[in-house]
Structure 1
Amino acid sequence: MLRNNTRGYGWLSIIFHWTSVVIIIGMFTVGWWMVDLDYYHPWYTDAPHYHKSVGLILIALTLVRLLWKLSQPSPHAQGKKWQKKSAKITHIFLYLLIFSLFVSGYLISTADDRGIDVFNWFKFGSLGRLFADQEDFSGMVHEYVAYVLIALSSVHGLAALKHHFIDNDNTLVRMLTTKQQKEQK
């Protein structure tokens, strides 16, 4: 089942979700590792190139994901009223953090008026230097937003595990398979 319904997520939403999870964890890990590379390290220029390229692919995926999300019904949330509200707020913040990472990463990478090569396929243009100390300020924002995104994503994942193992509901299962969705029809 490709599309969502009020009982569960379709395969496309599930693929968007887990692809984003893998990319975000990978980007965080690579970002954390590459900031300590010295000039003579063989990955000194390649790691940032791949990090920027994957970051631009992630933002494109996130935009398509949001458009898909807006065109689909949302499965009914499970849990208490405060849990449903918390989940909604958490999802909004996760998207805002991803977009903040994109903007801050873009401002770091284009402060010298050079565009960003995306896997050497095409160049994403630069707006140049927009304010003083752009790369330093944006770098600080990028780092702290990445930490907050990983922390909030961890809370999100723990909440899904809590739903599964403590509440015994199908919140987690709905993001792993469409099987529950088909059985309930």
Structure 2
Amino acid sequence: MDRHSQTTHRLLHWVMAALVIFLISLGYYMTTYQQFSLYHLHKSLAVLVIPLLMIRVFLRIRDPWRSGAAALPRWVSAYHWLLLVGLLLMLVSGAAYSGFGGYGIGFFGIELVSASKDALQQYTAYSATLSTFGQQVHVAAGYALSALLGLHVVAALKHHFVDRDNTLRHMLWARG
């Protein structure tokens, strides 16, 4: 992989990491403290993740994960793919929850999926069953993805402090 590709992968990694960690944290905050006004921000940022995820998947198909010149062990590559699949599941289930629930999906004020409201301006579901299923999957996937991300951070720290290799330095743009 050339230097330009490495830079692109690193940039996507960190931008997506920041967005996903913020989205998961925001999701926990919104649901714990019933902060409904933040749902628009949550959905907008999630919509922003979609093209980034598509680019990341495309690039990873073209340039598989490596450790130096060697391919990573299959289980490590599978774990990385599991992170991306977990993120995709979060996006699809969140869209199902919101879209089928009649809440709509917007991107910073641009309506992508219209909300469904009755004469009293109360949200009405297009399909309550699919919305509820989307919500249940979204919550479960959120916990699973959080655990996978926690493991990812622990593995990076293990590489740095126990194995004393250059994995973390490489992802932080340092030479080593």
1:149 aligns with 2:145: yes
1:94/1:149 contact within 8 Å kept: yes
1:62 aligns with 2:64: no
Deviations for 1:56-78, whole angstroms, at most 9, x for unmatched residues? 11121111111122233643369
- In the TM superposition, residue 163 of structure 1 has moved relative to its aligned partner by 1.3
1:105/1:142 contact within 8 Å kept: yes
Q: What's 1:2 paired with? A: 4
1:31 aligns with 2:27: yes
1:110 aligns with 2:110: no
TM-score (norm 2): 0.81
- In the TM superposition, residue 36 of structure 1 has moved relative to its aligned partner by 3.2
Q: 2:129 aligns with which of 116, 127, 133?
A: 133
| CA distance 1:112–1:69, change in 2 (3 Å) | same
Which one is further off, 137-146 or 115-124?
115-124
Amino acid at match of 1:16: L
Q: Which runs of 5+ in 1 are unaligned?
A: 4-9, 181-185
Whole-Å Cα distance in 2 between the matches of residues 108 and 90 of structure 1? Answer: 26
Whole-Å Cα distance in 2 between the matches of residues 101 and 176 of structure 1? Answer: 26
Superposed CA RMSD in Å reads 2.6
Question: Size of the alignment, in residue pairs?
Answer: 165
2:40/2:108 contact within 8 Å kept: yes
Q: 1:162 aligns with which of 155, 158, 169?
A: 158
Amino acid at match of 2:150: S
Q: 1:72 aligns with which of 56, 63, 68?
A: 63
Larger RCO, structures 1/2 (Cα 8 Å, 6+ apart):
1
| 1:123 counterpart SS class | strand
TM-score (norm 1): 0.77
| CA distance 1:179–1:124, change in 2 (3 Å) | farther
| 1:167 counterpart SS class | coil
| 2:173 counterpart SS class | coil
Q: Which runs of 5+ in 2 are unaligned?
A: 116-124
